[in-house]
């Protein structure tokens, strides 16, 4: 709870002053920065429209910014005209979608995060070794749909420990598992334990399919939640990783709200609050965090600080098809530049 707040706010009262602590790391991960840059570069090189299958990342502000630059977001390839430049979202797509794009000869740039593609390969390798694949993930999420459709024979999907008992597999000695990249580290550990108990010979990646960015943001928010009276998470309702951050706050007994942006903030949330924690999901631009801090300053004069945490230096290369096209036009892809919040200022 609040230790060194400028003024301790009495229960039920509006604060006279606030301390705001920002989690670190927060916001854009390397896969999101890469995916946004892919759409921007495609627009720059080929000109609008560039069709994007599904929201490139789960954030309406990102989508809106790219839409204003000429990106067209669709859910199905059938909505894309013949020959139009097509980008697959960072969450990945099933093989059937790759094949359909091939049949229609659509020029495709795949913005699937390399860490999601790695999970696809793990699943394919398990099948190659004769194992049935169990996926830990959430039904209906596009990453799960993509991974399921990249693994020959599909997957058995489990979300919770209780699902493990209900699994019906061909041969309990020949199973393996993969996970969605944005799950709760704690919940997934429990499900993996249950899987290992039921299938002692199961093969899998440990919890390593949960990506570095998800793990780092969860670790940071856990440290943050120990010190605050209210937690605000900037992120979309449909953003899996953002939901997991708010969930951690709630589980730790801190009133926690997942908000699209500052416009969703309600003054009443601040009654009795001295210290506010702020973080952002992997698809939420830093601009929204800055706007939120400004909005908090309208509730009461606020002093803002950043909680030190793990520094991230992860960067993924752009797809070859794009860097070749860039070089042909005299644009040198610069892997060393800081892409952070470059695009959606």
- Residue positions annotated with a catalytic role: 143
DSSP state of 8: P
Closest approach, Cβ 149 to ligand SF4, in A, equals 17
Q: Pick the piece of the chain touching ligand SF4 (CB under 6 A) from 112-120, 303-311, 321-329, 334-342.
A: 112-120
* Rounded CA separation 147/159 (Å): 15
Interface with ligand SF4 by CB under 6 A: which range of 3-11, 192-200, 209-217, 296-304? 209-217
**Other CB atoms closer than 10 Å to residue 27's CB: what's the count?**
26
Q: Looking at the chain, which runs of residues are DSSP E strands?
A: 18-22, 50-53, 71-74, 86-88, 108-110, 132-136, 156-158, 175-179, 230-234, 256-259, 275-280, 302-306
What tokens does 292 get?
A: 């939120």
| Whole-angstrom distance, CA of residue 8 vs CA of residue 17 | 8
Touching ligand SF4, residues 184-203 (CB under 6 A): none
Closer residue to ligand SF4 (CB): 38 or 98: 38
Binding mask 226-265 for ligand SF4 (x = CB under 6 A): ---------------x------------------------
**Nearest approach, Cβ of residue 31 and ligand SF4 (Å):** 2
Q: At what angle do helices 30-46 and 114-128 cross, to 10 degrees?
A: 110
CA torsion 77-316-291-344 (nearest 10°) is -50
Q: Crossing angle of helices 320-328/30-46, nearest 10°?
A: 40
**Which is nearest to 136 in space by CA: 203, 91, 183?**
183
Task: Give the residue from 173, 180, 189, 174 showing the smallest Cα distance to 157.
Answer: 180
Residues in the site for ligand 10G, rule: CB under 6 A? 31-32, 57-58, 90-91, 113, 116, 143, 181-182, 239-242, 281-283
Q: Does 62 bind ligand SF4 (CB under 6 A)?
A: no
Candidates 115, 112, 117, 109; CA nearest to 321 is 109
Closest approach of ligand 10G to the CB of residue 339, in Å: 14
Nearer to ligand SF4 among residue 132 and residue 209 (C-beta): 209
Minimum Å gap between C-beta 35 and ligand 10G is 7
Q: How far is the CB of 296 from ligand SF4 (least distance, A)?
A: 26
Contact segment (CB under 6 A) with ligand SF4 among 98-106, 130-138, 154-162, 211-219 equals 211-219
Give CA separation, 250 vs 123, 134, 233, 314, in Å: 33, 29, 11, 29
Over the window 11 to 50, marking each residue x when it contacts ligand SF4 by CB under 6 A and - when it does not, the resulting string is ------------------xxxx------------------
Residue 281 binding: pick among ligand SF4, ligand 10G, none (C-beta 5-8 Å cut-off by kind)? ligand 10G
Span from 36-44, 78-86, 163-171, 206-214 in contact with ligand SF4 (CB under 6 A): 206-214
Minimum Å gap between C-beta 335 and ligand SF4 is: 16
Residue number closest to ligand SF4, CB atom: 31
**Half-sphere exposure in the Cβ direction for 157 (13 Å, CA):** 16
CA distances from residue 123 to 89, 128, 185, 194, 247 in whole angstroms, order as listed: 20, 9, 20, 19, 28
Q: Which is nearer to ligand SF4, 93 or 262 (CB)?
A: 93
Number of residues that bind ligand SF4 (CB under 6 A): 15
| Smallest gap from residue 266 Cβ to ligand SF4 (A) | 29
Q: Which residues bind ligand SF4 (CB under 6 A)?
A: 29-32, 90, 113, 115-116, 181-182, 211, 213-214, 241, 282
């Amino acid at each position: 709870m609040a230790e060194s707040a400028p003024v301790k706010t009495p229960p039920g009262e509006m604060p006279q002053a606030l301390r705001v602590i920002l989690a670190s790391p927060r916001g854009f991960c390397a896969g999101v920065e890469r995916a946004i840059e892919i759409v921007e570069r495609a627009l720059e090189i080929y000109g609008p429209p560039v069709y994007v299958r599904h929201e490139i990342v789960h954030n309406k502000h990102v989508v809106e910014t790219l839409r204003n630059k000429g990106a067209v977001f669709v859910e199905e390839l059938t909505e894309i005209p013949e020959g139009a430049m097509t980008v697959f979202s960072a969450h990945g797509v099933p093989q059937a979608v790759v094949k359909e794009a091939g049949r229609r000869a659509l020029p495709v740039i795949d913005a699937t995060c390399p860490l999601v593609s790695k999970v696809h390969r793990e699943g394919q390798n398990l099948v190659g070794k004769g194992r049935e694949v169990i996926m830990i993930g959430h039904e209906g999420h596009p990453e799960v749909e993509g991974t399921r459709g990249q693994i020959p024979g599909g997957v058995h999907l489990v979300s919770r420990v209780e699902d493990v008992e209900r699994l019906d597999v061909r041969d309990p000695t020949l199973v393996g598992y993969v996970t969605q990249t944005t799950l709760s580290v704690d919940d997934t550990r429990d499900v993996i334990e249950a899987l290992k108990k039921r299938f002692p010979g199961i093969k899998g990646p440990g919890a390593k399919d949960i990506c570095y960015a998800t793990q780092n943001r969860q670790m940071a928010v856990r440290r943050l939640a120990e010190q605050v009276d209210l937690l605000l998470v900037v992120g979309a309702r449909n953003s899996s990783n953002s939901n997991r951050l708010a969930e951690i706050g709630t589980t730790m007994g801190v009133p926690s709200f997942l908000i699209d942006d500052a416009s969703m903030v309600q003054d009443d949330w601040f009654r009795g609050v001295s210290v506010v924690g702020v973080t952002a999901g992997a698809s939420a631009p830093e601009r929204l965090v800055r706007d939120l801090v400004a909005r908090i300053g309208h509730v009461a004069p606020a002093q803002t600080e950043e909680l030190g945490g793990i520094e991230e230096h992860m960067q993924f290369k752009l797809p070859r098809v794009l860097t070749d096209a860039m070089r042909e036009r005299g644009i040198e892809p610069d892997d060393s530049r800081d892409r952070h919040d470059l695009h959606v200022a």
